[in-house]
Amino acid sequence: MFDVMMLLHVLGAVGMGFYIVLPIMLGGASKMDGSGQAGLAKGLLSANRIAQYFLIVQLLTGGYLMSQGEYEVIWMIIVTLLFLGIAALGGIATKPLKQIVSSIQSGQSTAAYVSEARVMSLIILVLYVAIVYFMVNPIY
């Protein structure tokens, strides 16, 4: 059972890899025209939703794996807080992505929303790199 959970956990981490490319993709959004930005935002919304499902896989498999190991409490707290930060900001980032689409449809500027989504995605990237570091180097 441990091996199956570990496989699912690694697959979930790969699925969350979307958060690595999100800032890069949002960086190119400001150079696109309105329809390009709307299409990109819709695609990123769909990909973010899939990444959110992978976060659920991570929660379930990570909880099981933590219960089976002998980890330090501080490590478990750090990893849990990093996970919650990624999950929360990943959910919050959907709002500016939706606002990009609605702003284009109403003919308004999207610069502020693209900037907001990019800042959120950079913070998520930092948290993702930090959690990968702690996963590779657990504290026993």
Domains, the chain, with CATH or none: 2-136 (1.20.120)
| The pLDDT value given to residue 118 | 94
Compute the chain's Rg from CA coordinates: 17
Q: pLDDT grade, residue 22 (50/70/90)?
A: very high
Q: pLDDT grade, residue 110 (50/70/90)?
A: confident
| The pLDDT value given to residue 36 | 85
Mean pLDDT of the chain: 93
In this prediction, residues 87-113 reach a mean pLDDT of 92
In this prediction, residues 53-79 reach a mean pLDDT of 94
Report the alpha-carbon distance of residue 136 to residue 132 in Å, rounded. Answer: 6
Q: pLDDT grade, residue 67 (50/70/90)?
A: very high
In this prediction, residues 37-60 reach a mean pLDDT of 94
Report the alpha-carbon distance of residue 113 to residue 116 in Å, rounded. Answer: 5
Contact call for residues 40 and 25 (beta carbons, < 8 A): yes
| The pLDDT value given to residue 109 | 86
C-alpha 81, offset from chain centre: 14
